[in-house]
Amino acid sequence: MPAFAFVGIYLIYPAVDTFRVSLYNANTTRFIGLENYKTVFTNRAMQDVLLNNILWIVLFTVLVLALGLLFAVLAGRVRYEPVAKSIIFIPMAISFVAAAVIWRFMYAYQPPGFTQYGLLNAAATAVGLPPTAWLNSLNIPYTNIVPPAPFHTNNVAIIAVGVWMWTGFAMVVLSAGLKGISKEVLEAARVDGANEFQIFRRVTLPLISPTIALVATTMVIQALKIFDIVWVMTAGNYNTDVIATMMYKQLFNYQNFGQAGALAVILFFAIVPFIFISINRFKTQEENR
Amino acid sequence: MTVKTLDEPAVAPSSRPGLKSIGRFFARIPLHIVIIVLALLWMTPTVGLLVSSFRPANLISTTGWWTAFQTPFQFTIENYSSVL
């Protein structure tokens, strides 16, 4: 019974109240139905926010998985595996804010003709290319082409920071999965005459697919609720807002409680399916044990 | 790079004479290069932060952290002493 009371006060009441607030106007004085939700899906700026978040989900998850798997496979084949893996894992141990500060050193931009103290632009000017404002520019570097909504340079630059941080996590989990594959299976495949690539494609990959799925769902949830990196790098300016930063702005900058509530509810319902997938997989894994 | 003996269990020992292991070492050089290059890339931003933490504030915002290794060396522990 006390457990019910705690869950009720700490979880259910705030959730229900957020939903109630999302149906009201900015200062919760007038009921406006689903108007806030309509704004999220029809307003141009809001649509960009959703698209940015979708780009985060796809690009971030795919890159983290691909690079994590690459490191796990490659590092597992050399003697200095612990050192190599530690180096990749270090960013995981750094706070998001510190990581963003680090990457501001990488992306820092000065107009042409001034000393570039950002590493990327210094490298670009050293080989004769013009500097790029990585965190402000929407166009593809060194061209004037502005790609459609979420595919802006600054979005990709910020996502790269997230990838840099989370690849270590994916690598460690996937590496543990790779180590769990029994040597006999791989040996059998070699005896049957499979080459290394075939073994990876037909034996290793299917065997660690549960681990890959686990990392993928974790990364999707991570990308959905991403806030800190975006907030410290650009504060969501220059079209880099994601759902969480927009929610913060609606709540604290614009004092629009209804709109913030609607975004919170949308974010919640976007994440719920992935949580269920994770829980289900965990359950079936426990049963198979 | 030192020569490394390799421990891949599936290959029967009899099918691997000494000459072959030298060939395998050279065949694996690309693997080492890929790992080392990626590890260095991954470290660069963190090293930048570490180096910057020992530089005076006015230099951090005017020159790149990699220039700290050129003469004159202008390192400082002032950042740390003001935090502690």
Q: Which string of b and e fits B51-64 if b means at least 16 CB within 10 Å?
A: bbeebeeebbeebb
pLDDT band at A63 (very low <50, low <70, confident <90, very high): very high
pLDDT at A110: 81
Please give the mean pLDDT across all residues of chain B.
Answer: 76
User: Which residues in chain B touch residue A118, judged by CB atoms under 8 angstroms apart?
Assistant: 64
The minimal CB distance from A190 to the residues B10, B28, B48 is found for B10
Return the DSSP state at A92: G
Residues near A180 by Cβ (< 8 Å), separated by ≥ 6? Answer: A208
Instruction: Calculate how close chain A gets to B82, using CA atoms only, in Å.
Output: 18
Q: What is the mean pLDDT of residues A2-27?
A: 85
Q: What is the mean pLDDT of residues A27-56?
A: 86
Contact A186, A203 (CB under 8 A): yes
Contact A46, A39 (CB under 8 A): yes
pLDDT higher than 80, residue B55: yes
Percent of chain A with pLDDT over 90: 15
Q: What is the mean pLDDT of residues A164-173?
A: 92
Q: What is the mean pLDDT of residues B61-67?
A: 79
pLDDT at B7: 53
Of A188, A117, A12, residue with least CA distance to B55: A117
Q: What does the radius of gyration of chain A's CA atoms come to, in whole angstroms?
A: 23
Q: What is the mean pLDDT of residues A58-79?
A: 91
pLDDT band at B6 (very low <50, low <70, confident <90, very high): low
Judged by a CB distance cut-off of 8 A, whether residue B38 touches chain A is yes
Which two tokens mark B6?
Answer: 């390799």
Pairwise pLDDT comparison (B13 vs A75), residue with the higher score:
A75
pLDDT band at A65 (very low <50, low <70, confident <90, very high): very high
Q: At what angle do helices A257-288 and A35-42 cross, to 10 degrees?
A: 80
pLDDT in tens, A261-283: 888 998 888 888 888 888 888 78
pLDDT at B3: 53
pLDDT higher than 70, residue A258: yes
Of A157-171, A179-193, B8-22, B53-67, which has the strongest mean pLDDT?
Answer: A157-171
A 252-271 residues inside an 8 A Cβ radius of B: none
Whole-model pTM? 0.82
Contact A136, A238 (CB under 8 A): yes
The minimal CB distance from B65 to the residues A91, A99, A105 is found for A105
Of B82, B18, B33, B32, residue with least CA distance to B56: B82
DSSP-derived 3-state class of residue A86: helix
pLDDT at B16: 52
pLDDT at A289: 62
pLDDT at A151: 85
User: Which residues in chain A touch residue B52, judged by CB atoms under 8 angstroms apart?
Assistant: 105
Backbone angles phi, psi at A254, to 5 degrees: -100, -5
Yes or no, beta carbons of A91 and B66 under 8 Å apart: no
Please give the mean pLDDT across all residues of chain A.
Answer: 86
The minimal CB distance from A74 to the residues B34, B44, B60 is found for B34
pLDDT at A145: 79
Pairwise pLDDT comparison (A9 vs B71), residue with the higher score:
A9
pLDDT in tens, A201-253: 888 888 888 889 889 999 998 999 889 888 888 888 888 888 888 889 888 88
pLDDT at A66: 94
Q: What is the mean pLDDT of residues A15-24?
A: 87
- In the block, tokens 């893996």 appear at A85
Of A258, A232, A233, A228, residue with least CA distance to A244: A228
User: Which residues in chain A touch residue B9, judged by CB atoms under 8 angstroms apart?
Assistant: 183, 187
pLDDT in tens, A130-140: 888 888 888 88
Q: Give, in order, the Cα–Cα distances in Å from B21 to each of A75, A187, B2.
A: 20, 19, 13
Contact B49, A101 (CB under 8 A): yes
What string of DSSP letters covers A37-56?
HHHHHHSHHHHHHHHHHHHI
